[in-house]
Amino acid sequence: MPPPSERAGKQAAAQQAVDILHEIATILNTHLDRRTLSICISMIENGVNPEALAIVIKELRKRGQEIELEAAAAAAGVSTVPTRRR
């Protein structure tokens, strides 16, 4: 077991690396926040292909937007229905 100081050091280094990658992501206008970036890094460390992951994220964003629009439309539809029913 590495001593706690060494583990703390490694954690700090890893944290710094993630910070720098987040800054690069911001410069590149990737619309990734820190949490998402951390998740992506973890996935890539687990062997996920980055290109595939990129496509997945784009798809998820699209789907997320669709679901939001649906929800917004549904909320608008619900509010008008009672007037119609009346």
Partner 1 sequence: MAFLAQQGALIDELIEAVAGIPKTRRQQRAALRDFVARSLQGHTFTRTNQFEVQDRLRGLEERFAVCGREALAEALDQRLGSLQQHQTPTTPEVLHLLLELADRPAQHAKLSDLDALVAPQEHAPPPLTWREIAREDGWKNERDIWRFIDYAPGSSDEDGVDVESHASLESRPSASSSSSAPEIPPRTAQDAAVRPQGDALLQKVRGSQSWRHAAAADSEGRPRKIPITTTQLLREALFMLAGLPTSLFDSACDPIAKYQLRGVSWEVHRALVTSFAECGLKLAPLRVVADAAEQSPLLQVFQDCVQRALRSFDLELSRIQARLVHARQDNAVVVTPISVLEELGPRLAPLEALADIVRHVRLERNSHHTLRYLELLYRAVGLAQLQGNRETYRLLGTIFFDCFQVYLKPIRLWMEQGELVPGDRSFFIAASPTKLPLPQVWKGQFALLRNPQGALYAPRFLDPAIHRIFTAGKSIVVLKLMGRHEAVRKHKATAEPAMDFATVCPDELEYAPFSELFDGAFRAWIQSKHHTAAATLRELLFRSYGLSQNLDALHRLYLMSDGARSDAFASAIFGHLDARSPGWRDPFTLTETAQEAFSACLDAGRLSAAVDPRALADAGSPPDARSSVRRALPAIRLHYRLPWPVHIVVTDDALRGYQALFTFQLQVRRALGVLRAPILPLLRRGSPRASPDLALYCLVRTKLLWFCNTLLTYLTTLVLAPAAARLHEDLGSAPAAAAADDDDDDADVDDMVAAHAAFVARATAEACLGARLQPVREAMLDVLDLAIRLEDAQRDELERGGGGKGTERRTMTDEEGYEEKGTAGEKMEGGERGRSDKSPTAVLREVHAEFERLLKVVAAGLRGVARASKEEAAAKWDLLAEMLEAGIKM
* Contact residues: partner 1, CB under 8 A: 13-14, 16-17, 19-33, 35-36, 39-46, 48-61, 63-64, 67-68
Give the C-alpha separation, 53 to 43, whole Å.
Answer: 9
Cβ proximity to partner 1, 49 vs 76, nearer residue: 49
Q: How far is the CB of 68 from partner 1 (least distance, A)?
A: 7
Which C-beta is closer to partner 1: that of 14 or that of 76? 14
Cβ atoms of 41 and 21 closer than 8 Å: yes
Contact criterion met (CB below 8 Å) for 37 and 25: yes
